[in-house]
Amino acid sequence: MSTGGTAPGRLLPILLPALLAPIAVFVAFALGSAAPALGRAALPILATAAVYPVFARLVIAGRRGAATAAALLWAASLSVSLITHTARDPVAAGPGVLLGPSYRDEMFTYVESGVGRESDPGRFIPQHLLHAGIFCVVTLLTGGLAGLAMGAVLVGYMSYYVGALAAGPHPATAGLYGWPPWAILRVVGFILLGTVLARPLLLRLRGRPSAPWLERPDRRILLIAAALLLTDIVLKTLFATTWAKLLRPCLPT
């Protein structure tokens, strides 16, 4: 994956989405304080707007590594912003995060008991495959726009759960381990998929339908993404119950 140089003019686009993500979170929650439904809609829209122009430009330019780095830094910044905001007042933050409270309740039950979809491959593998399939389709059809929006929703409700966990008696442990390693691998895998699958439509819209696609770097990225998503499933199958025990002391009393 070519990342280009590290001169300030080439580095700034990579960092810009991560710098804008906290602003998107702040604005979305400010809107949601007046109307929670507005906040729920605004959060993924504003978060996607923070990253998509840069991501699309880098993908079109063939800067695969830079596009991946920009999206990864954006996702990390978005997550940290949401966790920090939620940890201060999970009740107030909940109505502004799409699917946030319901996912928190599901995850708290899993952490408390060690039992749930997280620890049941027969339940979570179909969900993972469904999410991956939808992500691939919408990314291809929209040049990555809907894929990043879907990613913003997924990162949003996962980060809300981690923030709610960090509001408990052990915030540092919750903040460090609330995102299990397999979930992080899944995010990286999705972003790698998006870097490749967004390219055909973006090139066509730029009047370059004959531009090469699925060159050797693209194929390598897809293989890495597939390996990460498979590793996600394996690690989750092996360690989900153990991870629940690790997080159990963090549950709010």
3-class SS string, the chain: CCCCCCCHHHHHHHHHHHHHHHHHHHHHHHHHHHCHHHHHHHHHHHHHHHHHHHHHHHHHCCCHHHHHHHHHHHHHHHHHHHHHHHHHCHHHHHHHCCCHHHHHHHHHHHHHHCCCHHHCHHHHHHHHHHHHHHHHHHHHHHCCHHHHHHHHHHHHHHHHHHHHHHCCCCHHHHHHHCCCHHHHHHHHHHHHHHHHHCHHHHHHHCCCCCCCCCCHHHHHHHHHHHHHHHHHHHHHHHHHHHHHHHHHHHCCC
Residue 198 lies in a domain: yes
Structural domain for 199, as ranges: 8-250
| pLDDT per position as a tens digit, 16-71 | 999 999 999 999 999 888 888 888 999 999 999 999 999 999 999 999 999 999 99
| pLDDT per position as a tens digit, 159-199 | 999 999 999 999 999 999 999 999 999 999 999 999 999 99
Residue 156 lies in a domain: yes
**What is residue 247's predicted lDDT score, i.e. its pLDDT?**
97
Q: Is the pLDDT of residue 4 over 50?
A: no
Q: How confident is the model at residue 1 (pLDDT cuts 50, 70, 90)?
A: very low
What percent of the chain shows pLDDT beyond 90? 83
**What is residue 5's predicted lDDT score, i.e. its pLDDT?**
47
Q: What is the mean pLDDT of residues 122-150?
A: 97
How far is Cα 169 from Cα 233, in angstroms, rounded to an integer?
30
Residue 187 lies in a domain: yes
Structural domain tally of the chain? 1
Q: Which residue has the higher pLDDT, 78 or 31?
A: 78
Residue with tokens 């966790």: 83
**What is residue 77's predicted lDDT score, i.e. its pLDDT?**
98
Residue 126 lies in a domain: yes
Q: Is the pLDDT of residue 9 over 80?
A: no
Residue 158 lies in a domain: yes
Residue 141 lies in a domain: yes
**What is residue 211's predicted lDDT score, i.e. its pLDDT?**
59
Q: Is the pLDDT of residue 234 over 60?
A: yes
Q: How confident is the model at residue 206 (pLDDT cuts 50, 70, 90)?
A: confident
Residue 2 lies in a domain: no
Q: How confident is the model at residue 7 (pLDDT cuts 50, 70, 90)?
A: low
Q: How confident is the model at residue 8 (pLDDT cuts 50, 70, 90)?
A: low
Q: What is the mean pLDDT of the chain?
A: 93
Which pTM does this prediction carry? 0.93
Q: How confident is the model at residue 207 (pLDDT cuts 50, 70, 90)?
A: confident
Residue 1 lies in a domain: no
Q: What is the mean pLDDT of residues 92-100?
A: 93
